[in-house]
Amino acid sequence: MARCRECGIEMDFVMMPSGKAMPVSGVYIMIDQQSKRPNRTIITDEGETVRGREIARGHHLKDHKPDENFVAGRESHFANCPGASRFRGK
């Protein structure tokens, strides 16, 4: 894992379909993508952006196999980094 130059938090990178690397948090979040009240947007390890309601979080979710309702992924580091605006558009 790398550390953010701005805030120092550990982060990982996921390759997006565009070919760009997206910085993501190290903690996995499981979401219910069928929820009518989504509260999280996550990036899967395959680079897919998915919105849904958070139901669990933790490193143990890394090996979760997605199904029609539940998907595990990580939040974009930009969602929580205080210096995120300095990196946008690069």
Q: Is the pLDDT of residue 87 over 70?
A: no
Residue 22, pLDDT score: 93
Confidence of residue 63 (pLDDT cuts 50, 70, 90): confident
C-alpha distances in Å from residue 24, one per residue of 29, 34, 35, 68:
11, 23, 23, 23
Taking a C-beta distance cutoff of 8 angstroms, is the pair 23, 12 a contact? Answer: yes
Q: Is the pLDDT of residue 52 over 70?
A: yes
**41 strand-pairing partners:** 51
Boundaries of every domain in the chain: 2-86
